Structure 1
Amino acid sequence: MQRLIISVVMILSLAACSSQKTQTSPMVAHRGHSNVSGGVYLEKDHNRPEPKNAQLATDKEKFIDKMVKKHGFDRQQLRDVLAQANKLDWVINLMDKQAPKSGPVTGPNGAWIRYQNKFITPSNLPKGVDFWNKYNKELQQAYKQYGVPPEIIVGIIGVETGWGRVMGKTRIIDALTTLAFYYPRRAQYFSNELEDYLIMCRDEGVDPFDLSGSFAGAMGYGQFMPSAFRNHAVDFNNDGHIDLWDPVDAIGSVANYFKAHGWQKDKKVAVKADGQAPSLETGFSTKYSVEKLNKAGLKAQSSIDGHKEVSLLSLDMGDRYQYWYGLPNFYVITRYNHSTHYAMAVWHLGLAVKDAR
């Protein structure tokens, strides 16, 4: 779900993004001393007072206790860091608006067409071609090393940030502390992300106040959350640092993420089906035998790589529903963002850029 939240903001921002190239990575511009004893590297102090809220103070102290005992952080410095972070009320409001909603199905209305058109446009595809051409060597190396083809990596980075043009302007420390301590619905998740973020900053010698990203704390070209950074990010350019604001590290990290989640090299993603099956549940998490789908009136238009079970995907085309058989690689894309539309857009955008080259 966190990836879905992040991508909604990227969708809304993409049309207005700047065409200027990204400047020096903030992790390079603000990197100080690595391996700071007992804490994170700080370029300056802001001296903001601790808010006078007993429950908030208790929650922060519990978090600080964990960081001290588990990771060896300096207690007083961490108190100062958390006191200097801003509470962002607009982030809480935006999170509430993105909470899952359900309602009656009213029939096809073109939802997929509108979603796809956010990304696959005549003006956007050349930007993807430029990115692919510039980093073709690294994309091919990622394919060789991790088995993930360039079009999938290009599709992810294109959907998430428009190939680096929209990476977010919210201070990550502010976003994560706001959601960890002022947003009970998902406080535990964001507390864990704040933990990983502070460890990342300590390990990389970067001031935690100098990095910006999405309103939910996602970072860099591929919009990794801090936990994804710690678990899957790689130093793909071999400079001794992992930097998701560096496109080469981002390429390798996205590929590693997909490999870790089960990407099958040179296997199909999904196959379009003939027929209609309005009574069947659809979605990337469904599972049907091919035999059952055949009996329901559906038939794959091409080989499904020998799979006996598939998910049933439905795309709202406005005047009808278009059905697809989702294969394991499609499910892997949804591990980045739990959305059928998102995964299909990533795949189709990558293929469109490939064709445009």
Structure 2
Amino acid sequence: MTLNLRPLWARLARPVLLPAGLALSMAMVAVPLAANSEFRAGDPPYLERDEVQAFIDEQVAAGREREALEAMFAAVDPQQRILDLISSPAEARPWKDYRPIFMTDERIERGRDFMQEHERWLKRAEDRFGVEPNLVAAIIGVETFYGRNTGGFRVFDALVTLGFDYPPRADFFRRELGEFLTLVDEEGLDARETRGSYAGAMGRGQFISSSYRHYAVDFDGSGQRDLLNSWPDAIGSVANYFREHHWNHGEPVVARARVEGDAHEDLISRNYQARFDLEELAEHGIHPAEEVDADGRYSFIRLEGDDGYEYYLGYPNFYVITRYNRSPLYAMAVHQLAEALAE
């Protein structure tokens, strides 16, 4: 049974949309730590913690019902498994170990079946949002294996655990917990039974609560934005996410590069905005290994492959994929899977 946490007047209010920069995908928020992380879920019970009571006070001031909130927090089981998982995300691996997780014959074959099965909605999404069907399929393929693995953690429990037992990103996850409570009212979700990833991402495209509220679309016209059960809504919402982050239909994603010397290391960063021209790249010993736009701007990407480092120039579209997940490994896996699905 869905718990309504706000009075009727508040449930009827229009949602406040977040700025794009605040609507992050889940794998963007993990802080890799050693396997024996110092963070442990434990005592005292959440309701006895001052910071939890302060959070509840904030929610009550926003119009939610204290009794319902306290009942939910009293029922939360801290999840040590969640803290262990967020401390060692897959994106902490080298590319040579990360790529084989997603670039498998089974995932490619299942992706082609997925594209045939949902051809109508993928084409509609391309027409409306300007995002290629194979890219949408690749995102869903990497995120949930085309809906097979959408997560088994209660979203509320995950966000409470991370918001109050994971200091590196506690503020972020507490904000997401507030977003989730709002989402529950807006979309009629079951606050205690909605399940997702260890970091609170939901549905077939794995949207966190703020992204769900900002980018999800009712693509099938049901009157609800249902990313957990509706394939049209999941497909349309992924495509809308990419449109909102300025995906360029038909444009390339990466080009192979070669390097000379060590100066290229100065351009390695976690920001993959395409901001370097070819002249600046050349000054750092970086040169395209295939034909590219001489007037274009690029990011520089270095990945650890089986035979040493692989080097790439990233077009603006590569940066857009990293808006879904900041990791360059993730973006490259999505790109390569999308290419395989397009063949």
Q: How big is the shift at 1:96?
A: 3.2
Q: Determine the C-alpha separation between the residues in 1 that align with 2:87 and 2:321.
A: 25
Within the alignment, does 1:37 sit opposite 2:16 as a pair?
Answer: no
Change (3 A) 1:134 1:278: farther
- For residues 1-357 of structure 1, the aligned pairs below 5 Å read 37=8, 56-70=48-62, 72-98=63-89, 111-245=94-228, 246-276=230-260, 278-281=262-265, 282-283=268-269, 285=271, 287-295=275-283, 296=285, 298-304=287-293, 306-307=295-296, 309-355=297-343
The separation in 1 between residues aligned to 2:257 and 2:91, in whole angstroms, is: 29
Q: Is the 8 A contact 2:288 2:313 kept in 1?
A: no
Q: Which runs of 5+ in 1 are unaligned?
A: 1-29, 41-50, 102-109
In structure 2, C-alpha distance between the alignment counterparts of 1:262 and 1:306, rounded to whole Å: 19
Task: Say if 1:288 and 1:311, in contact at 8 Å, map to a contact too.
Answer: yes
User: Runs of 4 or more off by more than 6 Å in structure 1?
Assistant: 30-36
Partner SS state of residue 106, structure 2: coil
Q: Kindly state the Cα deviation for residue 56 of structure 1 after the two structures are TM-superposed.
A: 4.8
Residues 277 and 129 of structure 1, relative CA distance in 2, 3 Å threshold: farther
Alpha-carbon distance, 1:274 to partner? 4.3
Q: Distance in 1 between matches of 2:118 and 2:6?
A: 31
Q: Distance in 2 between matches of 1:38 and 1:84?
A: 27
- Structure 2 length-normalised TM: 0.81
Structure 2's unaligned 5+ residue stretches are 12-42
CA distance in 2, matches of 1:165, 1:55: 35
Change (3 A) 1:301 1:198: same
What is the identity, as a one-letter code, of the residue corresponding to 2:247?
W
Q: CA deviation at 1:336?
A: 1.0
Deviation at 1:319, TM superposition (A): 2.3
CA distance in structure 1 between the partners assigned to 2:128 and 2:214 by the alignment: 17
Identity of aligned residues (%): 36
Native 8 Å contact 1:284 1:311 kept in 2: no
Deviations 1:221-264 (A, max 9, x none): 11111111011111111100011122211111111111112212
**Cα distance in 2 for residues equivalent to 1:54 and 1:217:** 18
Distance 1:172 1:306, change over 3 A: same
The aligned length equals 306
Compared CA separation, residues 272 and 73, structure 1 to 2 (3 A):
same
- Deviation digits for residues 180-218 of structure 1, max 9, x if unmatched? 122222111111111111111112222211111111111
RMSD: 2.8
CA gap of 1:194–1:32, structure 2 versus 1, over 3 A, is closer
**Alpha-carbon distance between aligned partners in 2 of 1:100 and 1:121, rounded to the nearest angstrom:** 17
SS at match of 2:101: coil
**Offset at residue 270 of structure 1 (A):** 1.4
Aligned-residue offset at 1:65: 2.0
Whole-angstrom distance in 2 between the partners of 1:277 and 1:56? 58
Equivalent pair of 2:253/2:318 in contact (CA under 8 Å): yes
Secondary structure of the corresponding residue to residue 255 of structure 2: strand
Secondary structure class of the residue paired with 2:276: strand
